[in-house]
Structure 1
């Protein structure tokens, strides 16, 4: 099994080297070109309504989730299929995360958090396929995800607790003279949350793909000596697989932490 995984990874790396290699010999590598938003139809002009490569790969991510969670577990059995096993594992993993981090009263928000995790992790993994487009490498996509989480949690806090939700910013255990200063710090840190979520996800995914592009460019430019950077690509590609999951996990668990603050706004 280990040898099979190694050969599959090596094959993917070789394909990546051919696909992402520069058009002309030399080291004219442009690692950021892979993030360019391009219209699928109608020339190079991109408007707000134009179907782009971002749109395409977002729909592919949704389609992959549908196939895995809906079609893969449609014929449920005592002995689960591979797709059913993955679906059940993902379900149990996220459910336990929500329950452990945010509490049992947060379980009612589980469907949204599960959807959020599955979209991010699927988009991340699809972005590792050669010739694909990584939607989560764009701040416009991760920014919307982060803002939706921020707004939803803030509204939830005020709906459940009213003005008492502002107690989240008042550190009652601190000395009275320090409380206004700490309150200001808490307010700033609260409004930085969506920025942190957005930049952390997109920045890590973008940086990893850019490095892969650079090494793949070296492999394409060196010709017969391309095996040298290919070893580096193999190791980094494995790391990117891990990062693709970890970043989805971090985004989701931070959402659970923020949800806990909305459900129990006290220090």
Structure 2
């Protein structure tokens, strides 16, 4: 919380990230909250895009159909390029992850909306699901050969045990970095916009606001444009890392 002395101006940069019940009262695991509401809205928007976008299946696609086809083709090519043709079997799961993240990120840019991907509970669950899935898949596909992922056979023999320890540590850190990267970037951008927005009303309460308010508005516009880029880039990064982890599971040899 910050307060301008003598003006009564108070703002809470972390206010947009607070989870609250939609109907009041205490929050339990089954309580509908603003987080569950916006996740549901995201899922509904994805469903509408692909139901409406693919309903006609016109040879000359409409704008909605074009967006649906572009999204499908973009992720399909990503999976094939990174994980190989063997990875296409798992395309529906990766595509679902990408769509959920990108829609949650962009819907969070709507004023007064909530960004589920700014919470580590959401991104952490997705990252752990990816981590467990690729680990189980790696052992199912390769058996004990999956452990070859941690043995750098191209390195000098004396260094291989040390590198194996480092590889194991880095492997188990994956879900942490995978989740924090997304949540941290989404939270940071929204918090900065909240800080800039707090200075916009200064023109109403202080003479200094004549100079500060226009600058804060320009900063908000610039940050909003940047956050639109970040919303897509972070969905892309999360998805492509998932493809990389899938590739390691399918082809663990260094």
What TM-score, normalized to structure 1?
Answer: 0.89
Matched, 1:107 2:88: yes
Cross-structure match for 1:118? 99
Alignment gaps of 5+ in structure 1: 1-21
Q: CA deviation at 1:145?
A: 0.4
Partner of 1:233: 220
1:246 aligns with 2:222: no
Residue pairs, 1:35-46, within 5 angstroms = 35-43=17-25, 45-46=26-27
How far apart are 1:222 and its partner, in Å? 3.2
Q: How far did 1:25 drift? A: 4.8
Shift of 1:174: 1.0
1:57-206 equivalences under 5 Å are 57-206=38-187
Pair 77,246 (structure 1): closer, same or farther in 2 beyond 3 Å: same
Structure 1 residue 177 displacement after superposition: 1.2
1:212 aligns with one of 187, 190, 193: 193
Compute the displacement of 1:26 (Å): 4.5
Structure 2 distance, partners of 1:243, 1:158, is 35
Distance 2:80 2:10 in 1: 50
2-side partners of 1:206 and 1:25: how far apart? 28
Give yes or no for contact 1:97–1:253 (8 Å, CA) kept in 2: yes
**What SS class does the counterpart of residue 54 from structure 2 fall into?**
coil
- Which of 12, 21, 28 is the matching residue for 1:30? 12
Contact 1:26 1:221 in 2 (8 A): no
Pick 1 or 2: higher relative contact order, CA cutoff 8 A, min separation 6: 1
The gaps in structure 2 that reach 5 residues or longer are none
